[in-house]
């Protein structure tokens, strides 16, 4: 009979089902949305490296104005003859406001300040969908009104005169230091996020907080959650939003602000809740997964 039978080979043990890792949720401060200003500071840094005569032009511009002021104060009896001198003509050739406004370093400075201003507005104010619609509608209305008013009144000349007197300049080292400051802030934020974060498990909600990782536990039974988009611009940058967890036997909802990629977190929570485990996972099982 030995010829009819084959050597018995024990079947491989069925692997134990893997324990669900859960979904980690980090909340961030609003300072992370300073990202456009960080990008603009890097662009301005490399742009200013390509403009070698900024300090020389600014020095000539300031001292030429001083020379014009001193010359006019010393001799006011012959303004016409003074205007014909070669010294003043050379001064005017150096420092007309229109040339100063159109210089590259001034354009970099204006763009940097504009982006910085708009960035601070995003940090200071939440722009929901209705506010964005009202802002666009109001801006379009004002623009059409100014165009209609320009048919009867020349309003561009005063604006042009104001802009011609603007000369904003910062050297490359300034933009480099701004970049390093922003990068240091991002490094601190991404390190300290581990001091306060949430972990949604199939059977419980874990809140890790504190330098020694203090732990709070909430049940996931009958857990309900909502996704909110309080600011459209923040959502466009990093997909940021708000998650509101409604835990049973808790009077107040758990509000998690500034969650990056909130739509992906919502999908992960839906999948996790659809595979809700009813059994209780003990600490021994967590320490020894092979016992499952």
Q: What is the SS3 string spanning the chain?
A: CCCCCCCCCCCCCCCCCCCCCCEEEECCCHHHHHHHHHHHHHHHHHHHHCCCCHHHHHHHHHHHHHHHHHHHHHCCCCHHHHHCCHHHHHHHHHCCHHHHHHCHHHHHHHHHHHHHHHHHHHHHCCCCHHHHHHHHHHHHHHHHHHHHHHHHCCCHHHHHHHHHCCCCCCCHHHHHHHHHHHHHHHHHHHHHHHHEEEEECCCEEEEEECCCCEEEEEECCCCEEEEECCCHHHHHHHCCEEEEEECCCCCCCEEEEEECCHHHHHHHHHHHHHCCCCCCCCHHHHHCHHHC
Domain residue spans of the chain:
23-28+193-280, 33-191
* Per-residue pLDDT tens digits for 242-290: 999 998 878 889 999 999 999 999 999 988 887 765 444 555 555 554 4
At residue 41 the predicted structure's pLDDT band, cuts being 50, 70 and 90, is very high
* Per-residue pLDDT tens digits for 31-40: 999 999 999 9
Q: Higher pLDDT residue, 122 or 59?
A: 122
Q: What is the CATH number of domain 23-28+193-280?
A: 2.30.29
Q: Higher pLDDT residue, 155 or 46?
A: 46
At residue 104 the predicted structure's pLDDT band, cuts being 50, 70 and 90, is confident
91 backbone φψ class: left, alpha, beta (φ>0; ψ -120 to 50): alpha
Global pTM reads: 0.69
pLDDT at 61: 58
């Amino acid at each position: 009979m030995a010829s009819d039978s084959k050597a018995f080979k024990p079947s491989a043990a069925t692997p134990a089902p893997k324990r669900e890792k859960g979904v980690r949720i980090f909340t961030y401060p609003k300072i992370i949305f300073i990202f456009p200003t960080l990008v603009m500071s890097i662009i301005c840094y490399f742009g200013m490296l390509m403009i070698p005569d900024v300090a020389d032009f600014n020095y000539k511009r300031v001292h030429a104005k001083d020379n014009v002021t001193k010359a006019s104060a010393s001799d006011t009896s012959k303004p016409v003859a003074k205007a014909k001198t070669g010294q003043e003509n050379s001064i005017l050739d150096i420092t007309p406001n229109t040339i100063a406004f159109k210089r590259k370093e001034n354009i970099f400075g204006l763009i940097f300040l504009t982006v910085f201003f708009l960035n601070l507005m995003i940090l200071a104010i939440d722009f929901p969908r209705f506010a964005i619609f009202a802002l666009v509608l109001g801006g379009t209305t004002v623009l059409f009104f100014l165009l209609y008013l320009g048919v009867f009144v020349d309003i561009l000349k005063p604006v042009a005169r104001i802009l011609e007197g603007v000369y904003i300049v910062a050297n490359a080292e300034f933009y480099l230091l701004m970049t390093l400051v922003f990068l240091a802030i991002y490094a601190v934020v991404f390190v300290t996020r581990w001091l306060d974060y949430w972990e949604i498990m199939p059977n419980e909600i874990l809140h890790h907080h504190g330098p020694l990782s203090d732990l709070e536990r909430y049940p996931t039974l009958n857990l309900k959650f909502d996704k909110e988009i309080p600011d459209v611009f923040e959502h466009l940058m990093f997909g940021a939003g708000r998650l509101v967890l409604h835990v049973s036997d808790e009077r107040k909802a758990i509000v998690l602000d500034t969650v990056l990629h909130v739509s992906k977190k919502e999908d992960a929570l839906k999948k996790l809740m659809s595979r809700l485990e009813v059994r209780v996972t003990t600490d021994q099982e967590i320490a020894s997964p092979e016992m499952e």
